[in-house]
Amino acid sequence: MLLLRLAKGEQRRRAKEVKKVERGLKKTSLQKYQEEYWNVQGLYLSVIFFYKDNLLVTNEDQIPIVEIDDSHSSSIMQDFLWFTKLTELDVFLQLSCMWDDIRWLRQNMSISISSSTTLQARQKMLSAAAQLQNLLGTHNLGRVFYEPIKDRHGNILIVTIREVESLYSFFNGKWMQVSKIQSQRKSLSTPEEPTALDILLITIQDILSYHKRSQQRLPPGLYLGYLKLCSSVDQIKVLVLQKLPNVLCHVKIRDNSNVSSGESINHMMALATTLPITVYKLQREQSG
């Protein structure tokens, strides 16, 4: 009985130490981001968990954010796209399997980390993700926003977004309305040169709206797609509609997706000639 009590006491003591360390990590990261933001061109990772008009914030009423590195290389876009791919599998399969494998990826990547600058940068991204997982007590950090947020000071903020089903409690977090977070924000920057965090808070509604639209799926039917590419040295962009940013530009032909043998290629080509005009009209309607 005495040994059992000692074991339970040791478990409670270790649990308190873990919580203390995690609180210290969170406080240090937030303080460094807010106080030393102007001194370095840093790379940061932020998590947005939302339910309707509520966001998950820390006990200090801050959006969860950790530092990846106090500097970043010219190949940051390649590293960002690599990091984005880690979350794509769970989006389509409705699983959090890739986030669950963060620890495994870190261990395997550390084998050859000393010989590659790229691997070192990506290892730091995984470490930041693991730190946020520990702070929030959940593995699934959601989906990476399609582009990082940059400011004129050279800072870059990578954002992940996850919509939850209810206002259930998270470890080291609480819920707050978006409007309240925006009104309470005390910015150290000027309106002419907002920080990346300020840009995030200013555009948070647009980011959430984009995330919701990107989860929509096309209803069953026969569609004609239109692929328009814009390539550069480190990435390839495709033209999409604002209402459905996760789908290529398209025109719905009919509800029945079957193509009969009597429908000739000429018929499809005739539809293809009208597709760019249709896409242009759709874009005009959305922008108007």
Per-residue pLDDT reduced to its tens digit, 219-274: 998 888 888 888 887 778 888 888 888 888 888 878 888 777 666 566 666 666 66
Q: Average pLDDT in the 79-104 region?
A: 68
CA–centroid distance for 48 within its chain:
8
On the question of pLDDT at 78 being above 80, the answer is yes
Crossing angle for the helix pair 117-136 and 102-109, nearest 10 degrees? 150
Q: Average pLDDT in the 132-160 region?
A: 90
Q: Average pLDDT in the 84-93 region?
A: 62
State the Cα–Cα distance between residues 129 and 217, nearest whole angstrom: 28
State the Cα–Cα distance between residues 193 and 189, nearest whole angstrom: 6
Report pLDDT for 277: 66
Per-residue pLDDT reduced to its tens digit, 148-205: 999 888 899 999 999 998 888 877 789 999 988 888 876 666 777 788 888 999 999 9
Report pLDDT for 25: 43
Which percentage of the chain shows pLDDT scores above 90?
Answer: 20
Terminal Cα-to-Cα distance of the chain (whole angstroms):
75
On the question of pLDDT at 1 being above 50, the answer is no
Strands 156-163 and 43-51, bridge-based pairing? parallel
Contact 51, 175 (CB under 8 A): yes
Report pLDDT for 103: 73
112 — pLDDT class (breaks 50, 70, 90): low
Q: Which of 49, 67, 56, 40 is nearest to 158 (CA)?
A: 67
Domains of the chain are 18-213 (3.90.79), 222-287 (no CATH)
| Half-sphere CA count of 97, side-chain side, radius 13 A | 9
CA torsion through residues 96, 59, 28, 198, sign: positive
More reliable by pLDDT, 54 or 19: 54
State the Cα–Cα distance between residues 157 and 124, nearest whole angstrom: 14
Q: Is 223 helix (H, G, I), strand (E, B) or coil?
A: strand
State the Cα–Cα distance between residues 116 and 78, nearest whole angstrom: 14
State the Cα–Cα distance between residues 43 and 125, nearest whole angstrom: 9
Crossing angle for the helix pair 117-136 and 2-35, nearest 10 degrees? 120
Q: Which of 182, 176, 174, 214 is nearest to 199 (CA)?
A: 182
* E runs forming strands in 39-187: 43-51, 54-57, 65-69, 143-144, 149-150, 156-163, 174-177
Contact 245, 214 (CB under 8 A): yes
